[in-house]
């Protein structure tokens, strides 16, 4: 069936909507495939099948070694920043004390000159004053006599005339954060999770990787299944069984250990650092027409 003439009409002096769409301009949408989504049984840090999985209170799952290494590196970074901040505070305190001492020395020299008519004597041995009243190029500090000369000299290669940019180190936060959710995370708040492996011989022989099932309804767990973990014992169930049984009976269906409503932790679905996760599995990109060259300028999609 031939297309309509209005969509193929290319003798206009401007681009129509269909022509822009065929050229690839406008808002481009693409549904993310399976390769862009992290499997539910993979670590959020190394993106590999997890080993000794640990889960935080927000439902992010990590390998035990990966999350411990991440928290340890964060603590070392906090110690480094705290030491730099302490050094800066000490340096600022010393500079303030030195500034007060210089100010006091200037006041004493002015008082001595006013009362005795003597020239101010500098006790600093590092100042090598010549016959013109200026110090040498090796001097780091400048006096009031040199400031006016340095403004007109424009000798930026001199150590005394070289500007310095002060680097301000703010006080660091003393708490470690979750690398996935950016909320505060402590090592004692992590708990182990236990997934029930499918021991069916037919599925085990045909599948190369491990397959997990819900211990209650025996449904195979996939990325499309909403999962709930119990922070009290670590067993993982599908959300239907968790809402239907454990939310009412307040007990685990595997080990019969008591649980409360706050112990039901929904596990976050897959999603790497390059793709979204959850229900928003659609990537968008806006491309508009460039002026003159005919090439499109790409801008990143706005976050919603």
Among 282, 296, 267, 294, smallest CA distance to 44 is for 267
The span from the CA of 252 to the CA of 57, in Å, is 18
Do 249 and 242 touch, CB atoms closer than 8 A?
A: no
Q: Residue range 156-167: average pLDDT? A: 68
* Mean pLDDT estimate for the chain: 76
Do 195 and 41 touch, CB atoms closer than 8 A?
A: yes
The span from the CA of 194 to the CA of 198, in Å, is 13
The span from the CA of 156 to the CA of 146, in Å, is 14
pLDDT-wise least confident of 146-160, 172-186, 269-283: 269-283
Q: Residue range 7-16: average pLDDT? A: 69
Q: Residue range 108-121: average pLDDT? A: 72
The span from the CA of 154 to the CA of 163, in Å, is 12
- pLDDT 10s digits, 221-268: 888 888 999 998 999 999 999 888 888 888 888 888 888 888 999 998
- pLDDT 10s digits, 51-75: 999 999 999 999 999 999 999 999 9
pLDDT over 50 at 176, yes or no = yes
CA-to-CA dists, residue 37 to 148, 256, 273, angstroms: 65, 34, 10
The span from the CA of 4 to the CA of 16, in Å, is 14
- What pLDDT does residue 130 have? 47
pLDDT over 50 at 151, yes or no = yes
Would you give the DSSP letter of residue 224? T
28 CA to centre of own chain? 27
- What's the angle, vertex CA 222, arms to CA 217 and CA 228, rounded to 5? 60
Q: pLDDT band for 96, please (50, 70, 90 cuts).
A: very high
CA-to-CA dists, residue 92 to 16, 86, 270, angstroms: 64, 10, 48
Do 40 and 221 touch, CB atoms closer than 8 A?
A: yes
pTM metric for this prediction: 0.61
Do 249 and 229 touch, CB atoms closer than 8 A?
A: no
Is residue 292 left, alpha or beta, with left meaning phi > 0 and alpha meaning psi from -120 to 50?
left
- What pLDDT does residue 116 have? 75
- What pLDDT does residue 41 have? 87
- pLDDT 10s digits, 188-216: 999 999 998 888 766 554 545 788 899 98
User: H helices then E strands: how many in the chain?
Assistant: 7, 11
Which are the contacts of 248, defined by CB distance < 8 A and separation ≥ 6? none
Q: pLDDT band for 136, please (50, 70, 90 cuts).
A: very low
């Amino acid at each position: 069936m031939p297309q309509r003439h209005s969509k193929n009409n290319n003798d206009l002096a401007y681009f129509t909507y269909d022509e822009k769409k065929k050229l690839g301009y406008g808002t481009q949408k693409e549904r993310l495939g399976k390769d862009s989504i992290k499997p539910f049984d993979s670590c959020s840090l190394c993106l590999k099948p997890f080993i000794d999985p640990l889960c935080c209170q927000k439902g992010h799952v990590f390998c035990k070694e990966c999350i411990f290494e991440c928290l340890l590196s964060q603590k070392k970074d906090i110690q480094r920043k705290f030491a730099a901040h302490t050094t800066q505070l000490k340096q600022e305190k010393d500079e303030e004390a030195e500034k007060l001492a210089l100010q006091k020395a200037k006041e004493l020299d002015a008082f001595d000159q006013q009362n005795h008519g003597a020239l101010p004597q500098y006790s600093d041995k590092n100042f090598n004053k010549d016959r013109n009243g200026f110090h040498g190029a090796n001097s780091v500090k400048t006096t009031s006599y040199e400031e006016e000369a340095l403004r007109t000299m424009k000798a930026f290669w001199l150590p005394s005339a070289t500007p310095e940019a002060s680097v301000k180190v703010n006080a660091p936060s003393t708490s470690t954060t979750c690398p996935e959710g950016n909320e505060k995370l402590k090592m004692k708040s992590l708990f182990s999770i236990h997934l029930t492996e499918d021991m069916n011989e037919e599925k085990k022989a045909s599948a190369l990787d491990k397959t997990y099932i819900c211990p209650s309804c025996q449904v195979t767990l996939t990325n499309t299944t909403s999962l709930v973990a119990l922070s009290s014992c670590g067993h993982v169930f599908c959300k239907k069984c968790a809402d239907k049984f454990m939310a009412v009976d307040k007990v685990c269906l595997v080990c019969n250990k008591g649980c409360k409503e706050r112990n039901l932790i929904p596990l976050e679905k897959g999603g790497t650092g390059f793709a979204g996760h959850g229900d928003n599995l659609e990537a968008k990109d806006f491309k508009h027409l460039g002026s003159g060259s005919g090439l499109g300028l790409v801008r990143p999609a706005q976050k919603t």
